[in-house]
Amino acid sequence: MNDKAPIHTPVMVQEVLTYLSPSKGDKYLDLTAGYGGHASAVADVAGKLEQMTLVDRDSSAVAALTERFGAVEILHDDFAAASEKLASAGRSYDMILADLGASSLHLDEAGRGFSFTRSGPLDMRMDPRQELTAAHLLNHSDEQELGRILRQYGEEQRARVIAKAIIAARPLTSTDQLAQIIENTVPKRFGRKRIHPATKTFQALRIAVNDELNQLSRSLPLWGGLLAPGGRLVVISFHSLEDRIVKQYFKENAGDRYDAELTLLTKKPITAGPDEIVSNPRARSAKLRAAAKIKTKTKG
Ligand SMILES: C[S@@+](CC[C@H](N)C(=O)[O-])C[C@H]1O[C@@H](n2cnc3c(N)ncnc32)[C@H](O)[C@@H]1O
Same structural domain, 37 and 125: no
C-alpha 83: how far from its chain's center? 15
Regarding the beta carbon of 10 and ligand 1, being less than 6 Å apart is answered yes
Cβ distance 119 to 138 under 8 Å?
no
| CA 169 to ligand 1 center in whole angstroms | 33
The answer to which of 162-166, 185-189, 231-235 has the lowest mean pLDDT is 185-189
Q: What is the pTM of this model?
A: 0.94
The CATH code of the domain that includes 63 is 3.40.50.150
Cβ distance 242 to 288 under 8 Å?
no
Domain C-terminal end among 184, 210, 236: 210
Q: Whose CA is nearest to atom 16 of ligand 1?
A: 101
Domain C-terminal end among 210, 235, 266: 210
139-to-142, 200, 220, 222 alpha-carbon distances in Å: 9, 18, 33, 35
pLDDT per position as a tens digit, 97-114: 999 999 988 988 899 999
Domain C-terminal end among 210, 230, 246: 210
pLDDT per position as a tens digit, 108-135: 889 999 999 999 999 999 999 999 999 9
pLDDT per position as a tens digit, 138-169: 999 999 999 999 999 999 999 999 999 999 99
pLDDT at 71: 86
pLDDT band at 298 (very low <50, low <70, confident <90, very high): low
| CA 160 to ligand 1 center in whole angstroms | 31
pLDDT per position as a tens digit, 3-32: 444 478 999 999 999 999 999 999 999 999
CB atoms closer than 10 angstroms to residue 196: 15
Q: Supply the range of the domain harboring residue 286.
A: 13-105+212-293
Residues 6+ positions from 222 with CB-CB distance below 8 Å: 80, 83, 84, 86, 87
| CA 35 to ligand 1 center in whole angstroms | 8
| Dist CA 15 CA 288 (whole Å) | 8
Q: Is residue 174 included in any domain, yes or no?
A: yes
Cβ distance 48 to 25 under 8 Å?
yes
Report which ligand 1 atom has the smallest distance to the Cα of 34.
27
Share of the chain above pLDDT 70, in %: 96
Same structural domain, 271 and 136: no
Cβ distance 288 to 270 under 8 Å?
yes
Cβ distance 22 to 46 under 8 Å?
yes
Same structural domain, 96 and 120: no
Same structural domain, 193 and 154: yes
pLDDT band at 191 (very low <50, low <70, confident <90, very high): low
